[in-house]
Amino acid sequence: MTHDWSDVSERIARLAAAPGADQIFGASGHGHGWRLEPPLSPSELSEIEDQLGVELPEEYRSFLLTVGRGGAGPAYGLFPVRQLDERWQWDGDGAEITALETLSQPFPHIAAFNPADGLPGPPVREAFDSPEAFGVAEDAYWDDRYQVIDRPEHSVGLVYLCHLGCAYREALVVSGRARGQMWADERAGDGGLLPVTDDAGVPLGFATWYRKWLNNSEAQLANR
């Protein structure tokens, strides 16, 4: 069933014109500025999905076709999907994490997981004879740790859609058992990857996730 997005453009326009709109997190500076990029045409979306080898979840597909290909949205906004270097891809700070060539492979998780679990802790200064030796060991430790945490198999089937700041990002699962859910990538803070949920712990789909941001933005401005 196609999601009804008919109210969104008008609501975004009202938010953009409201006093204090630039105070909503992510709206000003290098953020989305309450701008929505033009929607995709059906032929463009078909070309994108053919290129990726996967059909995008319906709620996001209908957003791309009727609202916009990116722009105003949670945090610093939705990464727009654009044709760059003759290939369709998502564009923005962190959008490059999306592995286009593996989107058709199933995301392997349905519950939160942290690839750092079970790894040893960092070296301690007291165990080394000199600051130089400690520095070498510390650098090697973090290099090895990031190689494990950032393995590409952890993010197959994920389309990264927005940047929350400090390398925290949120992504849409496009293949696998959690298809259609929004997931948070908190590996930058050793938090792993986990579903974005409502207050009852139920995973959010794209539409609920986007509308939650829209509702919260309106409530925040109404209370100013």
pLDDT at residue 214 in the model: 97
pLDDT at residue 206 in the model: 98
Gap between the Cα atoms of 116 and 113, Å rounded: 9
Residue 63: other Cβ atoms inside 10 A: 24
Across all residues in the chain, what is the average pLDDT? Answer: 94
pLDDT at residue 111 in the model: 95
pLDDT at residue 223 in the model: 81
pLDDT at residue 1 in the model: 64
pLDDT at residue 107 in the model: 96
Provide φ and ψ at 196, rounded to 5°.
-85, 125
pLDDT at residue 120 in the model: 87
Gap between the Cα atoms of 21 and 28, Å rounded: 9
User: Does position 2 have pLDDT exceeding 80, yes or no?
Assistant: no
User: Does position 224 have pLDDT exceeding 90, yes or no?
Assistant: no
What pTM was estimated for this model as a whole?
0.92
pLDDT (tens digit per residue) in 61-106: 999 999 999 999 999 999 999 998 889 999 999 999 999 999 999 9
CA nearest to 52, candidates 21, 90, 4, 12:
90
pLDDT (tens digit per residue) in 121-170: 889 999 999 999 999 999 998 888 888 788 888 889 999 999 999 999 99
Band of the pLDDT at 40, cuts 50, 70, 90? very high
The answer to whether the CB of 32 falls within 8 A of the CB of 76 is yes
User: Does position 221 have pLDDT exceeding 90, yes or no?
Assistant: yes
pLDDT (tens digit per residue) in 163-197: 999 999 999 999 999 999 999 999 988 889 999 99
- The structure tokens 């701008």 sit at 35
